[in-house]
Amino acid sequence: MELLASAPAAPAATLLTLAQVERHTGLKKTKLYDLIVEGSFPRQVRIGSAARWVESEVSAWINARIADRDATPDPRSLLKASEIAPLLGVSVSTIEKDRKAASPRIPVVWVGPHARYDIAAVRAALAVAPRRGKSAVVAR
């Protein structure tokens, strides 16, 4: 009789109930199932008639939300064009024209339907941008 060498077993996945997933995510059943239908949340595993979620997949989903948050600037640190213009000594129209240009130099962060600007990015963009208008006139 020949003994078969078996591969080491993978650790069993920890499964979560709906109530545990709700506690981990702060979302309720309806929202969770809506996200599953959209493909935005890990699908449940069926065990008999029960639905369970793989804990590592739920944790990965939560960590992805955290990474998304950390990749974008905090909206509270962003300013409107009307708030940035006086600080930089330029007109609001200068900032707005750049935003509407085919290839804007000033990076815009959209907070809902509103354009917001990071003052450091605006300063850097305006420092390398050629000036037009009155400031471009050379004194004789």
Residue 118 has pLDDT above 90, yes or no: no
**What's the number of CA atoms in the CB half-sphere (13 Å) around residue 80?**
5
Banded model confidence at residue 90, pLDDT cuts 50, 70, 90 = confident
Residue 138 has pLDDT above 60, yes or no: no
Residue 65 dihedral angles phi and psi, to the nearest 5°:
-65, -40
Residue 20, Cβ density class (10 Å: 0-12 exposed, 13-18 middle, ≥19 buried): middle
CATH topology for 15-71?
Recoverin; domain 1 (1.10.238)
Residue 136 dihedral angles phi and psi, to the nearest 5°:
-85, -10
Q: What would the pLDDT profile of 121-133 be if each residue is shown by its tens digit?
A: 777 777 765 555 4
Q: What would the pLDDT profile of 36-51 be if each residue is shown by its tens digit?
A: 999 999 999 999 999 9
Alpha-carbon span 77 to 66, nearest angstrom: 18
| pLDDT, the chain, mean | 81
> Higher confidence at residue 48 or residue 87?
48
Q: What are the extents of the domains in the chain?
A: 15-71, 75-133
